[in-house]
Amino acid sequence: MGIKTKITKKDLSPYIKVDSLKKTKDGVSHSVYIVNNRYILKIYEDLSIQEIQNEITIVNYCKDLKINRIKKDLFYIKNKPAILYYKCKGKSLTKIKKKHIRQIGKFLKEFHTLSSNLNLSLKNSFGKTSLKEMIKRSKSKKFLKIFKKIKIDLKNDGIIHGDLFIDNAIFKKDRLSCVIDFSDSCKGDFLFDLAVASISWCKNKEDIKTLLKSYEAKISIKKFYNYIDYALLYYSVLRYLNNREYKSLLKGIRFI
């Protein structure tokens, strides 16, 4: 997406001494800057204050995990809410190996174990009701046909990340440094969260087995494919509605 809210060093100076301010293209929904090469400034474009407060609560609750921590929480720049995060050391991967997949599976297990005890009033943004409403907006008969074929019962296990794609994990020397971007976190099904990770991190059946084993998931790979199909459909519809490339995800669904 790039930058929607343009700022200068002067706009940020009331909150922190600014030596350098660099725009990024990292944010899909929000404006993201690198400050002093030490911090990440996230300016929220379309979330409510309650949704942002929920993100703050989740990040602070899980601060002992490998996640990016908050330097300064909710403040305003050009009348937009913002958070200043510490910048994680390392970078997103371009080549995925099984050792990376194992670390992602282990992280999600730790995150879900912890988040299951966090009581927040959050809706399930990834549930069937939400997806059906999105499909209705898309006016796509193809999406609806696929939706009706997927047989799955989603649960509300606890707080999920919902968006653990490759670009939301930072590695340093092949070790997971931190997981970022909890903007889409909500109540949801832990196996769905794992499936979202699989469609980004896993190229084949063996990779999926590695992910399931590292997570210690008690589900057969055959049944897990139902969650993968659902995750592929959800993000295909979301990308379609946002005028982004979606056909590559849609092709991954088994019965198309």
Distances (CA, A) of 85 to 15, 16, 89, 200, 225: 13, 12, 12, 24, 35
Q: Tell me which residue range forms the domain holding 214.
A: 98-250
User: Is 26's pLDDT higher than 70?
Assistant: no
Looking at residue 203, its amino acid is K
Total domain count, the chain = 2
Is 179 part of a structural domain of the chain? yes
Q: Mind listing the pLDDT tens digit for each residue in 108-162?
A: 999 999 999 998 888 889 999 999 999 999 999 999 999 999 999 999 999 999 9
Q: Are residues 67 and 115 in the same domain?
A: no
Q: Of 230 and 183, which is predicted with more confidence? A: 230
Q: Mind listing the pLDDT tens digit for each residue in 195-215?
A: 999 999 999 999 999 999 999
Q: Are residues 123 and 212 in the same domain?
A: yes
Is 19 part of a structural domain of the chain? yes
Is 256 part of a structural domain of the chain? no
Residue 39, domain CATH: 3.30.200.20
Q: Mind listing the pLDDT tens digit for each residue in 71-110?
A: 999 999 999 999 999 999 999 999 999 999 999 999 999 9
Sign of CA dihedral 245, 28, 67, 48: negative
Q: Are residues 104 and 72 in the same domain?
A: no
The answer to whether 221 and 111 are in contact (CB under 8 A) is: no
DSSP string covering 31-97, please?
EEEEETTTEEEEE-SS--HHHHHHHHHHHHHTTTSSBPPEEEEEEEETTEEEEEEEPPSSB--SS--
Q: Are residues 182 and 245 in the same domain?
A: yes
Looking at residue 85, its amino acid is Y
Is 92 part of a structural domain of the chain? no
* Mean of pLDDT over the chain: 94
Q: What mean pLDDT do residues 33-47 have?
A: 94
Please report where in the chains the tokens 């929607």 appear, as a residue.
Answer: 4
Percent of the chain with pLDDT over 90: 88
For residue 122, what pLDDT is reported?
Answer: 84
Q: Are residues 43 and 113 in the same domain?
A: no
For residue 28, what pLDDT is reported?
Answer: 63
Last residue of a domain, one of 86, 114, 141: 86
